[in-house]
Amino acid sequence: MTTDALLADCRARLAFDLLSNTWNAVVLWALREGPRRPVDLREQIGGISSKVLTETLRRLQFNGLVHRQAHPGAAPPRVDYQLTALGRSLLAPIDAVGAWAVEHGDDVMAAQEAHCTATRGPSSQ
């Protein structure tokens, strides 16, 4: 990586932008086992609204990470989403970030708590 590696038009910055959205990585991870319907994704993920899930799936589709498969002949009509090869290639980095979080999450939360305690000061305790 050069010193220009994080410029706005850099490919590394593109990857960081894709992974910086919380729901992108979560939805990609939820699709790792194969095609899923949106209702199944919402149930599996929890805490995501239909609107946000739809926006996330559209963003992932736009970026070539997810494929949308419509089944218009089905009654009722249904749609499945699945990872593309490109989307599947992001699973290893997502897994690595998750492993880092498991290993260091307590340290991060302790640092956050220490910062909050220090910035409250003696008058608000």
pLDDT band at residue 4 under the 50/70/90 scheme: low
**C-alpha–C-alpha distance, residues 71 and 69, integer Å:** 7
- Angstrom CA distances, 5 to 2, 20, 56, stand at 5, 17, 26
Whole-number pLDDT of residue 37: 95
Residue-wise pLDDT for 72-114, tens only, equals 888 888 999 999 999 999 999 999 999 999 999 999 999 999 9
Residue owning tokens 């410029």: 7
Residue 122 has pLDDT above 70, yes or no: no
**C-alpha–C-alpha distance, residues 95 and 92, integer Å:** 5
